[in-house]
Structure 1
């Protein structure tokens, strides 16, 4: 709870994340402060901030919580009949292309296991993990994501996903077996740029590596709108391989090749110490099975 208060900056915002009332969070903070005989919070305008003593406590809390998660995992390994729940979270394309198929596999192989999937941005997934509202998340490493050594999280590689080129069905490159980014340097580009999405930054980085700056003319907040813009000849776009099942008519996917061939890294993220929990381990294995069963995704 103290970690969430620190991250959110107000008691009210922390209470919303934790699904508690502000008075309950305030009560717990006062009780913890009383038990430890140190002040934990101090006002900062309309917000609150942690005292130096509270920061010391958080440093130890990360270690203690990691050990507690490992303890739970060890105990659960001795239980029979795992029923969950397994709560998985991830951004749109990861939820559609990986989490949903993995949940379907688990429903078949472990019918007694309760699996819950939530589509949300990476920052929300991390908040859910910290609040104990999610057990396993798929995230993409970005500048805003926690660093690899963050003591709160265990982050491990899951997939290097290719990005393809989306062009209108009548485009000269629509029949090509593969093209390079350099081949479309003069095209108008369409990007997805909602909060929490890294699509625009990825396009800029990959095109820069290919030696040009993309001419971005259209921005959208959903992949459906991007598909429609491409289908109607308004430009081209970079699309994740995982989005294949969401494709609409009028758009052709063209594989990209060459030294500047773009990919993106996806990671599994859990609370540190919890990865060996039997139910979470089943979730990770199911995700890997989905990837292994779809060679085009991992190509």
Structure 2
């Protein structure tokens, strides 16, 4: 196998026209340059230089290897530039996974800011696998994924960063007997028929656990796995539901994440208590990716987007209407 370093020494001799000039350029002694060229000739099995007066000129083989050495030198320089750009976060690919409500509330504004700061970073954005949202991060196919508190601990090379706690509120038909309440004790919903809005998994578990703590199991008579449809069922009087605030109003976390909520006009939303179900939202990040500026910038944007704007207004309907006292 040809020695690349010796090829670069040969190139210096060919471009300068003499061993002495090449040695001065490289900071070597003429003897060291001659030894390097001689060793390369033995590897090549063919003469590379011939003497011409006080200088040298390349043979056909010498010219061939010198030309290839120039190409290698350019490729190395390009690789170093590309690596510096990647290291500085100017280029590269960032794979992000998210679940539906987090997409509107957190991911969209965070990525918009990231694109402005790192315009040449290519974003690979897809929804998580609901059965195994950590899978792509753990297998190295994604740099970051937004997940609800996972049921199993991630691998050691994945870090979980808590972003926010997303509380569930009661969603009632507009004329419901409890619609005028400021807050509703969860046990007061024990005898109601329920509209389900969550598939089995980490989003449904907080609801079931809170109801169990209140001493009952919800009677799901209608099932939907998206919040707008579930609200339509509630508005039609088919039952009541518990839905996460981020799903009802994606902009609840911060002004930077404020987007129009998907609130049905025929429902009333009220906080619940004793206990109040909450789902914890995390960013699962590959630890090796935390060294990349775009990943750090995205994580910081997600944190800022998840910051609450302030205390929850007592007695205020999230639609803006005032809630009468009970």
Report the TM-score range of the alignment, normalised by the length of the smaller protein.
0.5 to 0.7
Write the deviation string for residues 93-122 of structure 1: whole angstroms up to 9, x where unpaired: 222222123223333454444444322334
Q: Which residue matches 1:262?
A: 277
Query: Which residue, 165, 168, 181 being the options, matches 1:163?
Result: 168
CA distance in 2, matches of 1:78, 1:104: 20
Give 1:10-21 correspondences, 5 Å limit: none
Structure of greater relative contact order (alpha carbons < 8 Å, 6+ residues apart)? 1
CA distance in 2, matches of 1:266, 1:288: 11
Which is further off, 118-127 or 175-184?
Answer: 118-127
TM-fit CA distance, 1:87: 2.3
TM-fit CA distance, 1:234: 0.9
CA 1:88–1:246: 2 relative to 1, 3 Å = farther
CA distance in 1, matches of 2:173, 2:145: 34
Q: How many residues align?
A: 219
Write the deviation string for residues 39-79 of structure 1: whole angstroms up to 9, x where unpaired: xxxxxxxxxxxxxxxxxxxxxxxxxxxxxxxxxxxx87994
CA distance in 2, matches of 1:201, 1:78: 41
CA 1:203–1:79: 2 relative to 1, 3 Å = closer
Q: Which is higher, the Rg of structure 1 or of structure 2?
A: 2
CA 1:296–1:124: 2 relative to 1, 3 Å = farther
2:210 maps to 1:202: no
Query: Which residue, 233, 236, 245 being the options, matches 1:232?
Result: 236
2:306 maps to 1:291: yes
Asked if 2 retains the 8 angstrom alpha-carbon contact of 1:154 and 1:275, the reply is no
User: Any gaps of 5 or more consecutive residues in structure 1?
Assistant: 1-74
Q: Which residue matches 2:144?
A: 136
2:103 maps to 1:95: yes
TM-score by length of 2: 0.59
TM-score by length of 1: 0.64
Query: Which residue, 137, 145, 153 being the options, matches 1:147?
Result: 153
2:287 maps to 1:272: yes
User: Any gaps of 5 or more consecutive residues in structure 2?
Assistant: 1-82, 250-260, 315-326
Asked if 1 retains the 8 angstrom alpha-carbon contact of 2:146 and 2:284, the reply is yes
Asked if 2 retains the 8 angstrom alpha-carbon contact of 1:191 and 1:199, the reply is no
Which is further off, 104-113 or 284-293?
Answer: 104-113
Asked if 1 retains the 8 angstrom alpha-carbon contact of 2:87 and 2:292, the reply is no
CA distance in 1, matches of 2:132, 2:304: 26
TM-fit CA distance, 1:291: 1.4
